Structure 1
Amino acid sequence: MASTTFSGPVTSTNGFIAGTGATVTSILTATSTIDFTSISANTTADSSGITVTGAAVGDAVIVGVPATLAAGLVVTGYVSAADTVKVRAANVTGSAIDPASGSFRVVVVKVA
């Protein structure tokens, strides 16, 4: 199959095949302001739940972080329950970090 390049939005009524494997059936997104409390050295902290209707445990989550994210934090996201995504910040330094409040975007990719 030949490669195709798109310059605008793509709509598919029967799924989108990414590469040679997964069919992307839906992309869900939400934005939330998160204000983590101080995170001790070498520990993690989870945000409260962000509502993402249609998200299911096991779905892939991508997190967009604010430009002001403190150095030494590694951020991931996961679906903690149906329709709920949490952002996890890991402090990988030897000192506590009290991150500034910021706007985080979560993107849930559903595949078949």
Structure 2
Amino acid sequence: MKNPSGSWRSNQIHDFLKYGTNEDYEIVSDHLGSDNLWKIVCSENDKFKVIVNADHPFYSRVYHSSQSKGITSALDSLIFSLAFAELYNTNDNNAQLFRTFKTVFSMTLDKLTKEELV
């Protein structure tokens, strides 16, 4: 992918938004072995995948307790959008910045969840 910040492996955002289908990407949950709420991976066929961390306290609080499919779909969309924004703007020079952003975002959400503000 060539993005405004450099190049990175991905789809072009305008192509993705115009032509992308759910066959081009997926959102799944799994145990990541980290404290981050999400991770981006790209399969061998360039399918964009966002993995939501099933071990994150926010996941347990919201995904397991929600009776509404609309709420979990909205959260999936929010996390997917954050992950795609990360992918769209990451390059070799700012990759650490995005790792830090994701870590701080996840730690803050963890704290808010533990303090029962979520």
Q: Which has the higher strand share?
A: 1
Fold similarity call, TM over 0.5: no
The structure with higher relative contact order (CA 8 Å, sep 6+) is 1
Please give the TM-score of this superposition, normalised by the length of structure 2: 0.29
Higher helix share: 2
**TM-score (norm: length of structure 1):** 0.30
Q: Give 1 or 2 for the bigger CA radius of gyration.
A: 1
